Amino acid sequence: MDRIVVLPGDGIGPEVTAQAQRVLEVVCAKHDIKIGFEEALIGGASIDAKGSPLTDDVIELCRESRAILLGAVGGPKWDDMPVATRPEKGLLGIRKALGLFANLRPAQVFSALAQASSLRPEVVEGIDMLVVRELTGGIYFGEPRFIDRSGPVRTATNAMVYDENEIARITRVAFEAAGGRRQHVTHVHKANVLEVSQLWMEVVEEVAKNYPNIELAHQLVDSCAMLLVKEPRRFDVIVTGNLFGDILSDQAAMITGSLGMLPSASIAEGGLGLYEPVHGSAPDIAGQDLANPLAAILSGAMMLEHSFSAHDAAGAIRSAVDAVLDAGHRTGDIVLDGENRPTIGCVEMGDRVLEQLECV
């Protein structure tokens, strides 16, 4: 039996992870995948109970497990705390402690929700891309980093640093992912200006030789940003460093519509993965059964795919979500303008997905 640690966190976190857990239980039973859940604290919930947003015993528990399902952390109750001890530190702490170097953010348009995008439906219909972002290196972590206030003019410095091994391992993640998709990788860079990007070009080309069936393209980050809104359908897998990936993954996600639909995965060497919805703890709707659990449920599908290599089971969840949306079921956040239909709550959305899974 493989252990999945559930870290519900704060706000709507416990509501959405509860639905994801129900769905995982059912789909794993149907596909003969033996799993057991263990729940632990993170974020504000952990501060309240243990005085710290992340404790060593929780890190150890996660390390000894197959995968982690996380809800969200944070909320007004803890907003006045010093930055170093706030709930968000729990999230950064667990990513660092587990060495989660690869962040995977799919951006997919469900045809029933194509109208939710700020772009025209004919531009977004059929978008299905995956942004693979390096998460533990680059300019966010590079040394030296400082503000120099000693002279007459203040200056600040950050360093963008990557070694070839960091580039190669994230590139392999992207190519492996493309193998199960449309066999296309776009490497996003700024090699006309940055030496770091020139090294990325070299290493990405070297790694690509091991994947002869997968097509590789290089795209400057500025033109990639334009193409994402002009012709988003052309992208399959995008691979890039921490800074560019941070920005492009949010841009790609937002052209698809609602925050409540976006899953993510962060993966360590050896396959341990942390799966979480992109949205936050939504304190404005917490505890009212209003949250959309589909991002958390789709994060469960990513878990089955990446930590269990259970592609059929993952596909079953995605098909069930598709069918639920096609049937017109909506939580409040994904009701389209002009749609005159009653909304359902978080638990009922979970029920509808389970119903569909029973039919598959």
Residues that bind ligand NAD (CB under 6 A): 12, 16, 72-75, 88, 91, 259-260, 276, 279-285, 291-292, 295, 333
The smaller minimum CB distance to ligand NAD, of residues 72 and 107, is found at 72
Check 30, 128, 140, 289 and give the catalytic one.
Answer: 140
Q: How far is the CB of 293 from ligand NAD (least distance, A)?
A: 7
Distance CA 198, CA 329 (A): 48
The smaller minimum CB distance to ligand NAD, of residues 191 and 335, is found at 335
Lookup: tokens for 14: 């416990």
Q: In what helix (H) or strand (E) does residue 69 lie, and over which residues does it extend?
A: strand 67-72
Tell me the β-bridge partners of 218: 187
Give the orientation angle of helix 13-30 with respect to helix 311-326, to 10 degrees. Answer: 120
Check 30, 77, 96, 246 and give the catalytic one.
Answer: 246
Active site residue 275: no
Q: In what helix (H) or strand (E) does residue 191 lie, and over which residues does it extend?
A: none
Active site residue 250: yes
Active site residue 246: yes
Lookup: tokens for 223: 């033109």
Q: How far is the CB of 190 from ligand NAD (least distance, A)?
A: 27
Q: Is the sign of the CA dihedral 10, 13, 14, 15 positive or negative?
A: positive
Q: How far is the CB of 78 from ligand NAD (least distance, A)?
A: 8
Q: How far is the CB of 47 from ligand NAD (least distance, A)?
A: 12
Q: How far is the CB of 92 from ligand NAD (least distance, A)?
A: 10
Q: Which residues, other chains included, contact 207 with Cβ-Cβ below 8 Å and sequence gap of 6+? A: 168, 171, 172, 175
Query: Helices in 150-273 by DSSP H: which ranges?
Result: 164-179, 195-208, 221-230, 242-254
The smaller minimum CB distance to ligand NAD, of residues 72 and 135, is found at 72
Q: Which residues, other chains included, contact 300 with Cβ-Cβ below 8 Å and sequence gap of 6+? A: 20, 21, 23, 24, 27, 69, 275, 317
For residue 96, give the 3-state DSSP assignment.
helix
Active site residue 222: yes
Annotated active-site positions, please? Answer: 140, 190, 222, 246, 250
